[in-house]
Each structure stands twice: as C-alpha cells, then as structure tokens.
Amino acid sequence: MAERLSFRNITALAPMVRVGTLPMRLLALDYGADVVYCEELIDIKMAQCERVVNEVLHTVDFVAPDERVMFRTCEQEKERVVFQMGTADPDRALIVAKLVEKDVAAIDVNMGCPKEYSTKGGMGAALLSNPDKIVAILRTLVTGVSIPVTCKIRILPTVEETVSLVRRIEETGVAAVAVHGRLREERPRHPLNCDVIKAVAEAASVPIIANGGSLDLVKTNADIEEFRKKTGSSSVMLARAAMWNVSVFSPSGPLPLEKVMEDYLKYAIRYENHAFNTKYCLCQMLRDKVESPQGKLLQAAQTHADISAAFGLQQFCQQTEEELQKKRSELQGDCPPDALRMEGDVSTMAVKFIRREYLPHFSPKMFLLEWSRKEKLQQPLYEMAQRSLDRGFQSTVTFAGKRFRSSLWEKSKKFAEQAASVVCLRVLGIPEGRIGDEESDLVCKRKRDGRTNGTTEEEQSSKRHSGDMRPEAETPHVNGDTPPEKS
C-alpha cells in the first residue's frame, strides 16, 4: 500500500484555476515540487462525472456528461497530487472524494476563495463564517475516505479568531491546513500578514502550509526556505511565483523561461491538454511579453499545432499527435478498409468518415436518406453506442432489412452515423457522394433542388429525429475555458 502523503517540510504547487491542470502539475513535480494541488473543481460538476481510463494517454479522466474532461490525472503524480474541491455540502463532498479517492494522494477543501460566484453558493471563503459547516464537511471527509484530507483557509480579522478556527479544524483529523495570510477582503497585491501565519503555526499541532508570499517574498528557490522560517510553518505553498516560472521549485534553478515554456508545451501536447488552456498558461508565463511577436502568434493560435509554431516545436507536435493517433487506431483494432466482415447479423467495415472527402453540402447519410426516398424504402434508422474507454461513438444503421456499421469508433455521434452510412452505401453499391462522384444522379438532383433555408433535407430530418446537432469537429477537452479565479 502507498505511504500516506506527508505535509511536513514540503513545497507545494498551490491550487490555481486554469493553471493547475495536468501539464503544470507534472512540470512542477519534475522541477522539484513535493506536492501539487489541482485547480479547484466544484463538487456539483464533479459528482456528475464518470471515471474513464484513457488507454491512449495512460491517464484517468473524469468526464462530464457533456464530454468535457473535468480532471485528468496519471500514475506519475498519483502519490503527490491533491484534489481540491469547492463545496458547501458534506454529503456531496464525500461523493466526489470517493469518486477520485483511488487516483489521488489527498483531498483538499477550498475555504479561501472570496469571489462572488464561489461564496454565493456558500463555498470558498463563505465557509470561514460558518465554522460548524467547516467541521461537518471535514469530519465527513476524514471518516469517509482513506487518504489524507486538508483545507486551505484565509486568515480572520484577529489572530485569536484565526487560531481558534484552526484549532476546531485540526480536531476533525485533517492532515494539514494551508493558510493564505490575507483577509477575505484583501487582494493578492496587499502585503502578507506573515505574523498571523506564524501565530497559527505556533498554536497548531497539524502542519501549517504558509501561502501568499509570491508577490514580494518568494522570487527564487532560496526564498522558499526564508519564507518558511519567517512564518514558522512546516511547509510552503506557491501560486503566482510558480505560474510565472514553475522552475522556482528547482534548487538548481531558475531555468530560462523559454525552456520552461517548451517543457510545459511538450507535456500539454503529450497529454492532449485543451489548447485554449495551454494558451492561457503560456500567456501567464509571458506576462508583459505577451504583446511581443511570439506573444501575438500565441494569442492567435487555435490548436497545439499553431502554438507549437510559435515555439519552434512543430515537429514534436506533429510526431506526438501522430503517435497518439496510431495508438488510438491500434486500440480500435484497425483492419484493411473495405474488408467486409459479419458481426452477428451486422455487416461491418473499418471505415472512418473523413469530411474533406465529401463536397461541403453532401454527406453519405444524406445520400442514404435520398436513396430510401427514391426507392420508396423505409428511412434508415440509426442506433448509437458509446464506449467508456475513450468516450468514442459507434452507430449501427438499419436499412432495407439489413444492419450495417463501421468497426471503428468516432469522436462524435454525427461522424459515427456518417461512417455507418458509408458502410451501408458501400455494401449496397450505392454512390456515397465522395468528391469525384459529383455527377451521380443524386448529386445532380441535389444541385438542381438547392438547399432550402440554408438547410439540407437531411439536416432537417435529423433535427426532427435525433436532436444531436453538435459540430462535427467537436472533441472532448480538458476544463479549458472556465474563467480565471483567484482566491
């Protein structure tokens, strides 16, 4: 069994919304952080997630019903990652803690975020004025999970009040308390109250993790120890200093920012981080250089390939993306295209729907529908399946009394239906509308009829029948576009 994570004499990457995703956490560990906190994740959203083992990336993903990857983690950080949640409800907190318990080293509750959207739900800093709720949440967690539980607070108006709160907190059995030495209404630019952290550390029996020193106290790795001594704390937690240059954790650092950004981008590509999230973090690192030529390229980027171009990493990006795609195909069990196989009563082929092979307003699904009308047959009927491995979709179409599907899995429902239609059309020898087939009867008819109201009949039909109108290029993504949150 793994050793319980200790919070004594450690240096930690602080929880940071949008910043604390997997690439940043792994890089912080590489450079020397002992413990890494994930960004705050809200209990209600997490409770709806499904745990999915991603065999392509070798990660564990917690995937929301809308396919967003809310939290992605991997073996490399398993013993040192702390899952921070936003909660105001002991039962819901426990549901989420149990969901992630096997994949993380500890659970933390955010009790310091002063932003309205957190406090109005009774979470974050709102908990500071409700110590009974704090105790209820922490007790429930400590007794309900087998891994350490911690919390992160801000200081209260007086030293006495802060010490008394921490005493109540430690009675719940938590493994540590992180103390951000500012009042709820103080901003991150205000001076830090090191003396209050010190008084708390002296009075407490659990390890105290000092936080809040990034602006003027911790600029280099050597400053970390100074900050620890000044606050009389067990440990230190860094947010902004790490966000600006995460090599602050390296005793032999700091490394040049270019190297840090390159290392960060490599992890982001390797772990299919959401490109907008990658871009956000790199912009934070560039700081005042964000208007430089490189910064402008970065700001205009939409994909990891674009971002890589701004950092001279195109080859790495292309190679890594190809390797991941190859792995994905292997897992899908590729077989020669167009080889017809029977799986029970279903005719299958290994077919992928490739949009660019078709004219913009034509699709195999549309062709099949038109064929059914022309031949006065029943309209094709689609059934959808989804697998947990990678949330891939596979559709089976019933047409003319037979069933057809592609043996390959697609990223979206729409593509899965198109792939099933291709198999059906190929098996039945019906034109499928690929570029080059333009002069087939059906295409000519479509061209004559035109598109009414900018919508094809097929689209109107699928609107009536399916309700799934997501864009075809949609892919799952990592928690990339939540607003930044500072507490």
Ligand X SMILES: Cc1cc2nc3c(=O)[nH]c(=O)nc-3n(C[C@H](O)[C@H](O)[C@H](O)COP(=O)(O)O)c2cc1C
What residues are annotated to the active site? 113
What letters, b where the CB count within 10 A reaches 16 and e where it falls short, cover 90-120? Answer: bebbbebbebbbebbbbbbbbbbbbbeebbe
* Smaller CB separation from ligand X, 57 or 241: 241
CA–CA gap between residue 384 and residue 391 (Å, rounded) = 12
* Smaller CB separation from ligand X, 18 or 413: 18
User: Closest approach of Cβ 239 to ligand X, in Å?
Assistant: 3
Structure tokens at 260: 């840090």
31-15-102 Cα angle (round to 5) = 85
Q: Provide the residue type at 346 as one letter.
A: V
User: Closest approach of Cβ 181 to ligand X, in Å?
Assistant: 9
- Say what angle helices 364-374 and 457-465 make with each other, to 10 degrees: 90
* Smaller CB separation from ligand X, 84 or 119: 84
User: Closest approach of Cβ 213 to ligand X, in Å?
Assistant: 5
* Smaller CB separation from ligand X, 12 or 443: 12
Is 289:261 a contact under the CB 8 Å cutoff? no
User: Closest approach of Cβ 240 to ligand X, in Å?
Assistant: 3
* Smaller CB separation from ligand X, 285 or 366: 285
User: Closest approach of Cβ 218 to ligand X, in Å?
Assistant: 7
Max CA-CA distance within the chain? Answer: 85
Interacting residues with ligand X (CB under 6 A)? 14-17, 19, 39-40, 84, 110, 112-113, 152, 180, 188, 211-215, 238-241, 243, 484-487
Is 265:282 a contact under the CB 8 Å cutoff? yes
* Smaller CB separation from ligand X, 186 or 357: 186
Is 13:249 a contact under the CB 8 Å cutoff? yes
User: Which residue do the tokens 């990660």 mark?
Assistant: 59
Is 290:283 a contact under the CB 8 Å cutoff? yes
Question: Considering only CA atoms, which of 163, 176, 48 is closest in space to residue 108?
Answer: 176
User: Closest approach of Cβ 248 to ligand X, in Å?
Assistant: 10
The H-assigned helical ranges of 301-436 are: 304-310, 314-331, 364-374, 413-428
